[in-house]
Amino acid sequence: MADTRYYDLLCAGLDDALTVTRVVHGVSWTAAVLSDGRTGVAMHTEGESFPRMFESLEGLPLTDAGKALLSWNLEEASEAHAAVNAFYNHRGCPGVQPGAAALDGIDLKGRTVGFVGHLPGHSGITDELLQPAKQIYILEKEPKPGDYPDSACEYLLPRCDLVVITGSAAVNKTMPRLLELCRNAQTVLTGPTVTNCPALLTLGIDRLNGRVITEPEPMLRAIVEKRTSVNKFSVSFQVDQ
């Protein structure tokens, strides 16, 4: 039976008094706005081979929209994650720390480190920071030279002492299996698709490192116009085990 605990925990905390008022499809990001004005984003993930659960998330209670986290229409799942992130990732959420980077305070010396997603160069992960590591594996759906294909996760992640996972793995439903493969490693989720839901730490995750949108209207315009980072329109949060 599929492990849906990651998604169940996200849905359990949602507020049924809120509705999704707007969904915006950008080049790289999908955004959603709630009836209280909160705005969230998730990585735009292509895939509409399967029918949507709902004709539109706009106008739905947030608790209904949250059910689409499990949609196999990945465009719809992206929308649902953006709506859920709008709820959890706000200015008053735990751990808001402008400038917090994914690996702050984590010693890499002599460790085997896995990255799910081509994360070096992002989230404050520099070549200099990685130099003390014993071994680095980068697993990527669209691998660059030196990257492993994402299918190598089954072989490589169990070897790792530390694994850093892009939050977008939740959209395509690979997150539960990745966490299982990393059960003996220190695990960090990073990126704008990460949800600030401390209950997720009960699944063996050690750190949640994501973004809170602070300039929603400029961000909404920018993501429609071009492929861009949302970091300039947001601040970071970091929640540890």
| Among 33, 30, 3, residue whose Cα is nearest residue 21 | 33
pLDDT at 1 over 90: no
pTM: 0.95
Amino acid at residue number 112:
T
Sorted by where each begins, the domain ranges of the chain are 5-88, 112-240
Say how far apart CA 222 and CA 96 lie, in whole Å.
23
- Supply φ then ψ for residue 9, to 5 degrees: -65, -40
Per-residue pLDDT tens digits for 192-240: 999 999 999 999 999 999 999 999 999 999 999 999 999 999 999 999 9
CATH class for the domain made up of 5-88: alpha beta
DSSP E strand stretches across the chain: 20-25, 29-34, 39-43, 112-116, 135-140, 148-149, 162-166, 186-190, 207-213, 234-240
Per CATH, domain 112-240 is 3.40.50.11590: yes
- Supply φ then ψ for residue 219, to 5 degrees: -65, -45
Per-residue pLDDT tens digits for 148-203: 999 999 999 999 999 999 999 999 999 999 999 999 999 999 999 999 999 999 99
pLDDT at 33 over 70: yes
Percent of the chain with pLDDT over 90: 94
